[in-house]
Amino acid sequence: MKTYIIDAFTTEAFKGNPAGVCIVENDISVETMQSIAGELNLSETAFIRKSENNENDYSIRYFTPTVPIDFCGHATLASAKVILHQIGNSTVNFTTFHNLKISAKSAGENIKMNFHLYETVNYFPNEDLYLALGITNPIATKYAEKMDMVVIEVANKDILLSVKPNFVNLANTSKSYKAVIVTAKSEDSKYDFYSRCFCSWIGIDEDPVTGSSHSVLAKYWSTILNKKEMIAFQASKRGGSMQLKIISDNELEVLSDAKIVFEGQLNLKSK
């Protein structure tokens, strides 16, 4: 099975968010896909398979090292990198296991993707969530139900960078989530906002750069900043950025790139 490791949301090797991409040509079981994801041990591995009807249509499934998940933005970008810049398609249309449709196309050296956009509502979590994160004075806390993500805004970038969660306590909070995003408005001209993303409940303490979280953050910050086009930076140790453009009430355009760092053949034979 042709397999790649790709750093998404960056143009530099060993930056951004690494994802595995496996091109599936024959039927394999969910158990095998999960084992491969565990073997690669990246935050997410995507399994893509070309449609028999259209060379631009692919199914896609996502796995962390421990569990399958519904959607992963950086693994989608990594998969698009293979199809658009390695195989040579001009566009690609992904369908997830839960029938979410995602399209991507080349935009010069970059890749342009269309994601769904998600609303948030005011939220009042149990105090153990703040304690596990070490956050004492949040500006606002929101919840995106469809993504099962909590958004916590803090006062500035310095506070954001100083967050040092107790990951054991975070994973054992009284309520579990897909992710908790901590975010802050930018005070410089390069970016509009910063964020970090913690996913201890699905086996990832801090995700380096998270496409799906920006499906939530884009609308949140658009309302605050009164902007439809923004540049975001996820301030993890590896770090990565993306350009965001709100197309409609439920559609987001994401522009970024990815760097292929490994290409090989996965051997699934028993001998």
Reading the block at residue 148, the tokens are: 């099962």
Residue 42: phi and psi, rounded to 5, are -100, 165
- Give the H or E element holding residue 197: strand 193-199
Where helices occur in 195-263 by DSSP H, the ranges are 211-225
Of the candidates 12, 62, 13, the one whose C-alpha atom is nearest the C-alpha of residue 42 is 62
H-helix segments, the chain: 30-40, 73-81, 127-133, 157-162, 167-171, 211-225
Q: Which among 44, 153, 206, 253 is annotated as catalytic?
A: 44
CA 105 vs CA 6, 71, 243, 244: distances in Å: 17, 18, 15, 15
CA 199 to chain centre: 11
Is residue 251 annotated as part of the catalytic site, yes or no?
A: no
Rounded-to-integer distance, Cα 217 and Cα 118, Å: 8
DSSP 201: G
| Active-site amino acid positions | 44
